[in-house]
Amino acid sequence: MEKSSRKFLLNLLKTPSPSGNESEYQKVWINEVKGFAVVETDEAGNAIGIVNGEAPFKVLIAGHGDEISMTVTRIDANGFIRFTRSGGINPSVLAGLRVDVFGFGGKISGVVGYKLDRSKEPEAKLSTDDFFVDCGATNADEIKKIVRVGDYILYRGEPEFLMNDRIVGKALDNKTGSFMVAEILRRLSRRKLKVAVFGVSSTGEETNMRGAYFAGARIKPNLAIALDVTFNTDSPGEEAPNRADVKVGGGPALSLGSAVNSRINEIIEKTAKKKKIPIQLELTPDKTSTDADKIHFSGRGVPVALVSLPVRYMHSPIELASMADIDAIIELLVETIAGLTGKENLKPV
């Protein structure tokens, strides 16, 4: 991967994109993609890069750029901020975290405090009600000049690289997917294609998947591939015996299940074999719980596939992935799409 592309990835990871307010992030994505693709937006906040858009056979690739966050619900008399979840926040990782509060009057720093009397019931399930954000204020009026109900709170955490070219940081789910969509478009823009490619940095996946539905309904693709992350099974406590093995560094994870079109999977697997790209298999028996589900049911229906990046510690402030896996997914999708004729029969029967 080129150094400029790595810099772009880090820039995306550092740009806030709470599910419901992804505009600043999308501006960064658009600024990069407009150099090699036609760019459009829609009412859901999606950013869409288009390559060879006049071709009749349309391929949609989507990776969501929004991240899990917390939302301010009230400010108490002492200036402590109470909040609820916007997406899959795990309360067990919150105590003591440093956070940024994106108030209507500006960004301020804070730490997540813990209700001490909660320790009297150690076996009870934690919820966001057990926590609050302390910004150092002495009363409510100090905070209310900057923060109001509905403002977003995000984990604070700079991305960095570890041994073996592993990247760690918050919101790898799924800014890596949005990044890969952009990189796939970049490389496809240099190829002679027989299909139109619509690459979407989608919005709202962590909360209501609004972006995926808007994109599918508007573009009306013949084929769609969602890029997201998936749970690993190669770290302590994750080696469940009833799950398919998915390892960080093991390559792209191709989803198998009811929502996934088997013909698309056959094309992807054939490409992987031809290009000697190792792939892993993950199971999504009923639904994928990704953008693929909403795209699948948009318009008159869209055949979909899901290719996932193995990630450790999902929905925590320290998600971890392999840059080699990211490279492999980009190569796999570039070669798959470049090999399409636009006459593919995607009917399983």
- Residues with a known catalytic role: 205
Residues 6+ apart with CB under 8 A from 141: none
Alpha carbons 101 and 143: distance in angstroms, whole number:
11
215-226 residues labelled b (16+ CB within 10 A) or e (exposed): bbbbbebbbbbb
Give how far Cα 145 sits from Cα of 1, 73, 79, 81, Å.
45, 15, 11, 13
Residues 6+ apart with CB under 8 A from 103: 146, 147, 148, 151
**CB neighbour class for 306 (10 Å; exposed up to 12, middle 13-18, buried from 19):** buried
109, containing H or E segment: strand 106-114
- Record the tokens describing residue 316, joined without a space: 């925590």
17-31 residues labelled b (16+ CB within 10 A) or e (exposed): bbbbbbeebbebbbe
Are the beta carbons of 252 and 277 closer than 8 angstroms?
Answer: yes
